[in-house]
């Protein structure tokens, strides 16, 4: 589910699997618009209701949106034109933050695993 927002790009992994849908979304809305907005956050509960699967899917999609906001801008408040938000970081800064988050998460998993 974390890949779902990038269905708006025909060259993405999911876009390759669902090319007609991907091309239609890309042509109709553009990249990082409706599929990177509050609208996509409704999909997990529509598909899975109020279940652990819905929560897992929601966190996957949220992590995608946050990651995209760190390397560019997304239209989180689509269809509002002023709804573009993000903190574009350099690739070097993004890699550093990615490493920090990875090791923090790994440390958390190891720490909670021993309790
Ligand atoms: Zn994306």
Q: For the segment 94-110, what is each residue's pLDDT rounded down to a tens digit?
A: 889 889 989 999 999 99
CA of 115 to the centre of ligand 1 (A): 36
User: Quick check: is 95 in a domain?
Assistant: no
What is the spatial distance between Cα 30 and Cα 24, in angstroms, rounded to a whole number? 9
In the chain, the number of structural domains is: 1
**Residues near ligand 1 ion, CB 5 Å cutoff:** 5-6, 68
Tell me which residue range forms the domain holding 33.
4-88
pLDDT in tens, 71-101: 889 999 999 988 899 988 888 988 898 899 8
CA of 16 to the centre of ligand 1 (A): 14
Let me know the angle formed at the C-alpha of 18 by 88 and 91, rounded to the nearest 5 degrees. 20
Contact 38, 78 (CB under 8 A): yes
* Three-state secondary structure call for residue 37: coil
Which pTM does this prediction carry? 0.76
CB within 8 Å of 75: residues ≥ 6 apart: 32, 33, 34, 36, 37, 83, 84
CA of 7 to the centre of ligand 1 (A): 8
User: Quick check: is 99 in a domain?
Assistant: no
User: Quick check: is 52 in a domain?
Assistant: yes
Is the per-residue pLDDT at 115 higher than 80?
no
User: Quick check: is 97 in a domain?
Assistant: no
CA of 99 to the centre of ligand 1 (A): 20
User: Quick check: is 110 in a domain?
Assistant: no
User: Quick check: is 72 in a domain?
Assistant: yes
């Amino acid at each position: 589910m974390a890949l779902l927002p990038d269905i708006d790009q025909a060259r993405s992994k999911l876009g390759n699997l669902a090319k007609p849908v991907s091309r239609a979304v890309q042509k109709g809305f553009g990249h990082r618009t409706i599929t990177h907005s509050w609208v996509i956050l409704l999909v997990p509960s529509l598909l899975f209701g109020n279940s652990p699967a819905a929560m897992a899917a929601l966190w996957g999609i949220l992590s995608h949106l946050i990651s995209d906001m760190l390397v560019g801008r997304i239209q989180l408040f689509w269809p509002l034109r002023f709804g573009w938000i993000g903190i574009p970081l350099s690739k070097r800064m993004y890699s550093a933050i990615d490493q920090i988050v990875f090791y923090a998460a790994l440390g958390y998993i190891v720490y909670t695993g021993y309790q």
